[in-house]
Structure 1
Amino acid sequence: MANRIRGDRVTVCVLMAGLPGSGKTTLSRTLTARGFVRMCPDEEMFRRHGVYGVDFPRGVFPTLERPVLEDVAADLRKQLKAGHDVVVDHGFWTPDDRAKWSAIAAEAGARPVLVYLAASHDELWARISKRNEFHASDPNSIYFSESDLQRYRTRFVPPAADEPHVLYDGDPAAVIAALDDPPA
């Protein structure tokens, strides 16, 4: 499908690759302030099913998440086809997952932009430890132990050199510049 033009530029879909605590929600809220529609599967999981590990057991998360992701993907298509810029506040841990969601964006006429939120284990664990204090009331504060984080890190595949992405270092300026300057 041809790219949808919004004003003088193509509609954009920002996808993020990052572990819990890497700054996805902070960045997505910055983009929302710039007019992006924010979609967050974790928040939808919280609305539908409650607190992870409290209201439903950890082992059923993938089963419960599947229809949530399908609904988010349908809404993503709708928002992009309507010409809205969108940021998906989700970790996209694997190249296959990122390719699938990039294809959804491209098929809807948008330019997918992958942002990689790299962070050390110590940075992630410090942020998660702080968030753990609020996990019962905040949908973005799912309780994680340090062993959970270590296990997640073994399943996370950072974008490789051949997977175009913008590196986020905590300053949204590089991301915003990449959104404003389409690739050649």
Structure 2
Amino acid sequence: MDDDLTNFLEQRLEQLLRAQRLGILPPGDDYEIARIGDTLACRLPGMKEHMRVRVPRCVLLSALPGAGKTTLSMTLAAHGIVRLCPDEEMFRRHGQYGVDFPRGAFKVRERPVLDDLAAELHELLTAGKDIVFDHGLWTPEERLQWRTLVTEAGAEPLMLYMPVPHHERWNRIKARNAKAHVDANSISFSEEDLLRYAGRFIPPVNGEPHVVYDGHPESVLRALGYDDTPAAAPRPRRAG
């Protein structure tokens, strides 16, 4: 790649990242950021595989409670992908939702947790680790925020939309509610809660980069370049 092309791509990348920081990046342009990053990292067509620099990936999830986020995330973690989970960190710091702290205090207590995990996500991606962020992103603004964090770390986001019918999600929630006092991933919800959350959820549309999850973790693993064999002994994530 000649110097003129490199300079052009670097200038274009700077423009796109500036637009991200200002919140005015057009939908879909984060893919251009990833493609330019790949090119500048020497991932060029025809280049020998051993000469390529691998860009880390981050799986982001857009889904309501009971859609299977944790099941998918744990499957990916078994293959060596680092899993970050705000619900588990909330449980570790504050205890059970609605018991050890009032439901109305959830968002206030969650904010520092998300900030800390955003910093950890950036650190891990810049170190070349693949990540799955086990957290439902309900709005276009949330999804843009986390895609931006990923691309600014020099990584490539994969946004999965996980549409699951209400009755199926409610059956799963009913089964896990009994474990809410001991399992960070089993936050207790009523059916009224789920219906209210569904009214606040804005699914991705065609203009927003995403892939509809087909219910098969192996399809995600293949998209990330992993085989179907779990890692021998994934290291537990350090508690922060």
RMSD: 1.7
CA distance in 2, matches of 1:131, 1:114: 26
Q: Which runs of 5+ in 2 are unaligned?
A: 1-12, 14-36, 44-49, 227-240
Residue 169 of structure 1 and its aligned partner are, at CA, apart by 2.7
Flag the structure with larger Rg.
2
Aligned-partner Cα distance in 1 for 2:221–2:162: 14
Larger mean Cα displacement after TM superposition, 64-73 or 159-168: 159-168
The structure where strand makes up a greater share of residues is 1
Q: How many Å apart are 1:170 and its aligned residue? A: 1.7
How many residues are aligned here? 180
Aligned counterpart in structure 2 of residue 36 of structure 1, from 72, 75, 81:
81
Whole-Å separation in 1 of the counterparts to 2:183 and 2:75:
19
Find the aligned partners of 2:133 and 2:56 in 1 and give their Cα distance: 14
Q: Which residue of 2 aligns with 1:52?
A: 97
Counterparts of 1:131 and 1:167 in 2: how far apart (Å)?
25
> Residue in 1 aligned with 2:132?
87
2:220 aligned residue? 175
Say which SS state the counterpart of residue 136 (structure 2) adopts. Answer: coil
Out of 164, 171, 179, the residue aligned to residue 209 of structure 2 is: 164
**Tell me, what secondary structure is at the counterpart of 2:80?**
coil
* Cα deviation, residue 174, structure 1: 2.6
The Cα shift of 1:165 comes to 1.3
AA aligned to 1:43 is E
Q: Distance in 1 between matches of 2:222 and 2:129?
A: 18
Give CA-to-partner distance per residue, 1:1-25, whole Å, 9 cap, x none.
74578x8532000000001110000
Counterparts in 2 of 1:143-154, with a 5 A limit? 143-154=188-199
**8 Å CA contact 1:80, 1:110 repeated in 2:** yes
| Paired-residue identity, % | 56
Q: What is the distance in 2 between the residues matched to 1:25 and 1:110? A: 22
The offset of 1:146, in angstroms, is 0.3
TM-score with structure 1 setting the length? 0.93
Q: Post-superposition, which runs of at least 4 consecutive aligned residues in structure 1 deviate over 6 A?
A: none
Deviation at 1:90, TM superposition (A): 0.0
| Partner of residue 141, structure 1 | 186
Q: With CA pairs under 8 Å and 6+ residues apart, which has the higher RCO, 1 or 2?
A: 1
Q: Give 5+ residue unaligned stretches, structure 1.
A: none
Aligned counterparts of 1:170 and 1:133: Cα–Cα separation in 2: 25
Q: Which has the larger displacement, 50-59 or 30-39?
A: 30-39
Question: Could you tell me which of 67, 71, 74 is aligned with 1:26?
Answer: 71
Alpha-carbon distance between aligned partners in 1 of 2:158 and 2:224, rounded to the nearest angstrom: 8
Partner residue, 1:69 = 114
Indicate which of 50, 56, 75 corresponds to 1:11: 56
Q: Is the 8 Å Cα contact of residues 166 and 175 (structure 1) preserved in structure 2?
A: no
Query: Residues 70-114 of structure 1: CA distance to partner in whole angstroms, max 9, x if unpaired?
Result: 000000000000000000000011110010000000000100000
**How far does the alpha carbon of each residue in 1:129-174 deviate from its partner, in whole angstroms, 9 at most, with x for none?**
0010111000000100000000000011111111121211321133
3-state DSSP of counterpart to 2:88: helix
